[in-house]
């Protein structure tokens, strides 16, 4: 059965994929990209996302988004758009579910802290770490490290990459050096991520009390949809009014993205994935919608992400990450046994040994959930904990 028969000619297809790093027999009852999605869902790193923060640290409340719920919401938005554009829904879903696998505990504060700790050892970037998770760190199969995902799935996970890192990634990094584009599915997953976190951070911000509807009325995009909700449902208030407003905002962004992207694809006259790679980016908002989305992002940065209560927690998070890193670098025998493998037996220059140790420490810390990182910090620095 051809599961991909109705896709557009420029959509990614399993049959013309660049394949897997390690050859495997083709699946009998699903596509290669469905297999990727299934492997991601069953991975250890995916389960850990349940206890990794989005904006609010996990212990601050049960109803705030986590990396897991965020990834599911991204996948839902991305599939909806892909279906309208006749793109490969399974590939879009796989990329969406995997895009945050390499995130540290404590969100962007954790990433910034770990990157600072790794400054002399190659740095740390969560997109590269997500790729490292699916290529190396997951241990599910006897024949290879990682999940052995398809090239196009791995490409979509790697949204950003410096030239130096791109050179070390071979074929996967070549597009960054050649200034070429990834598949439309990868471009789509990137913007679905933006739609999800911008709008759902509004919901979490209001739920936490760090944002107010009066503040949000300063954002034209929000205010316009709130007024529409009040017109349709006179007297509506509370959570119901918020949800009605946010779902209209999400719908407006999705419809605009579908319309604008469809027009760009048509104008570019692309006929294949290779044409897509050689064309300018085609999955995009209209200029007017892009301005509104940018205004919303600025508002969230100024009023939520830099709120003093968020800053207090991110300050603690940075200290936890930094102190854990310093402790494990100073005494690697504090690491769990699996992360000590190879450290004592490493040969060559001392700088190479230290670099290997630093990367293993970064792998361990990046894999922690919020609550595990806090617990590990107490175990190392509090006498009462063991």
Q: Does pLDDT of 63 surpass 60?
A: no
Higher per-residue confidence, 53 vs 191: 191
Is there a single domain that holds both residue 86 and residue 117?
yes
28, 31, 37, 42 alpha-carbon torsion, rounded to 10° = 0
> CB of 325 within 8 A of CB of 332?
no
Res 253: pLDDT:
98
Q: What is the pLDDT of residues 89-131, one digit of tens each?
A: 999 999 999 999 999 999 888 999 999 999 999 999 999 999 9
We report the CATH number of the domain holding residue 95 as: 1.10.3210.10
Is there a single domain that holds both residue 96 and residue 146?
yes
Res 346: pLDDT:
46
Question: Of the candidates 309, 336, 362, which is a domain's last residue?
Answer: 309
The per-residue pLDDT of the chain, averaged, comes to 92
Q: Is the dihedral of CA 182, 183, 186, 187 positive or negative?
A: positive
Is there a single domain that holds both residue 221 and residue 120?
no
Question: Of the candidates 275, 309, 343, which is a domain's last residue?
Answer: 309
HSE of 321, CA atoms in CB hemisphere, 13 A: 31
Res 235: pLDDT:
95
Q: Which helix (H) or strand (E) holds 196?
A: helix 184-208
Position of tokens 């790093």?
21
Contacting residues for 355 by C-beta, under 8 A, at least 6 apart: 121, 122
Q: Compute the distance between CA of residue 53 and CA of residue 242 in angstroms, rounded to an integer.
A: 22
Q: What is the pLDDT of residues 37-49, one digit of tens each?
A: 999 999 999 999 9
Mean pLDDT across 126-146 = 95
Q: Which of 18-27, 172-181, 331-340 has the lowest mean pLDDT?
A: 331-340
Q: Does pLDDT of 27 surpass 70?
A: yes
Contacting residues for 353 by C-beta, under 8 A, at least 6 apart: 343, 346
Q: Does pLDDT of 341 surpass 90?
A: no
Is there a single domain that holds both residue 128 and residue 49?
yes
Tell me whether residue 321 is in a domain: yes
Contacting residues for 70 by C-beta, under 8 A, at least 6 apart: 54, 100, 196, 197, 200
Tell me whether residue 196 is in a domain: no
DSSP category for residue 368:
-
Res 344: pLDDT:
60
Q: What's the pLDDT band for 1 if we cut at 50, 70, 90?
A: low
Is there a single domain that holds both residue 331 and residue 300?
no
Q: Compute the distance between CA of residue 100 and CA of residue 197 in angstroms, rounded to an integer.
A: 12
SS3 of 123-165: CCCHHHHHHHHHHHHCCCCCCCCCCCCEHHHHHHHCCCCCHHH
Res 385: pLDDT:
59
Q: Compute the distance between CA of residue 250 and CA of residue 191 in angstroms, rounded to an integer.
A: 12
Mean pLDDT across 19-23 = 95
Task: Report residue 64: phi and psi, to 5°.
Answer: -75, 155
Query: Taking the model in full, what pTM does it have?
Result: 0.93
Res 58: pLDDT:
47
Tell me whether residue 187 is in a domain: no
Is there a single domain that holds both residue 297 and residue 317?
no
Is there a single domain that holds both residue 58 and residue 136?
yes
Is there a single domain that holds both residue 213 and residue 353?
no
Percent share of the chain, pLDDT over 90: 77
Mean pLDDT across 268-284 = 96
Question: Of the candidates 270, 289, 309, which is a domain's last residue?
Answer: 309
Tell me whether residue 14 is in a domain: no
Is there a single domain that holds both residue 259 and residue 339?
no
Tell me whether residue 218 is in a domain: yes
Q: How many domains does the chain have?
A: 3
Position of tokens 């991975």?
43
Tell me whether residue 12 is in a domain: no
Tell me whether residue 2 is in a domain: no
Is there a single domain that holds both residue 63 and residue 53?
yes
Tell me whether residue 186 is in a domain: no
Is there a single domain that holds both residue 136 and residue 79?
yes
Is there a single domain that holds both residue 171 and residue 75?
yes
The CA distances from residue 150 to 82, 174, 204, in Å, are 19, 16, 35
Q: Compute the distance between CA of residue 28 and CA of residue 26 in angstroms, rounded to an integer.
A: 6
**Domain span holding position 212:** 201-309
Res 196: pLDDT:
94
């Amino acid at each position: 059965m051809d599961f991909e028969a109705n896709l557009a000619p420029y959509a990614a297809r399993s049959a013309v994929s660049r394949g897997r790093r390690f050859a495997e027999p083709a699946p009998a009852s699903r596509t290669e990209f469905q297999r990727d999605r299934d492997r991601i869902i069953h991975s250890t790193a995916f389960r850990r996302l349940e206890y990794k923060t989005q904006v609010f640290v996990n212990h601050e409340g049960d109803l705030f988004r986590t990396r897991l719920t965020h990834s599911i919401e991204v996948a839902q938005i991305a599939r909806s758009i892909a279906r309208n554009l006749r793109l490969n829904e399974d590939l879009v879903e796989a990329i969406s579910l995997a895009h945050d696998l390499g995130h540290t505990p404590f969100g962007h504060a954790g990433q910034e802290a770990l990157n600072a700790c790794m400054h002399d050892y190659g740095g740390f970037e969560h997109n590269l770490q997500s790729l490292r998770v699916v290529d190396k760190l997951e241990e599910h199969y006897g024949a290879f490290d990682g999940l052995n995902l398809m090239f196009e799935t791995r490409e979509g996970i790697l949204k950003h990459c410096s030239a130096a890192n791109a050179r070390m990634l071979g074929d996967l990094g070549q597009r960054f050096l050649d200034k070429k584009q990834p598949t439309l599915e990868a471009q789509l997953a990137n913007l679905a991520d933006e739609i999800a976190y911008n709008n759902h951070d509004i919901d979490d911000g209001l739920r936490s009390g760090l944002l107010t509807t009066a503040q949000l009325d300063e954002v034209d995009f929000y205010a316009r949809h709130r007024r529409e909700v009040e017109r349709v449902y006179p007297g509506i208030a509370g959570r119901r009014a918020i949800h009605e407003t946010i779902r209209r905002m999400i719908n407006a962004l999705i419809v605009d993205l579908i319309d604008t992207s469809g027009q760009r694809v048509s104008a570019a006259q692309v006929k294949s994935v290779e044409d897509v790679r050689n064309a300018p980016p085609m999955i995009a908002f209209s200029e007017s919608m892009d301005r509104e989305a940018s205004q919303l992002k600025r508002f969230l940065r100024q009023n939520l992400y830099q709120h003093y209560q968020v800053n207090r927690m991110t300050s603690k998070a940075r200290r936890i990450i930094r102190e854990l890193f310093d402790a494990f670098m100073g005494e690697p025998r504090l690491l769990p046994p699996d992360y000590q493998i190879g450290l004592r037996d490493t040969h060559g220059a001392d700088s190479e040994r230290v670099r290997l140790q630093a990367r293993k420490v970064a792998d361990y810390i990046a894999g922690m959930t919020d609550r595990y990182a806090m617990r590990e910090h107490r175990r190392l620095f509090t006498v009462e904990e063991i």
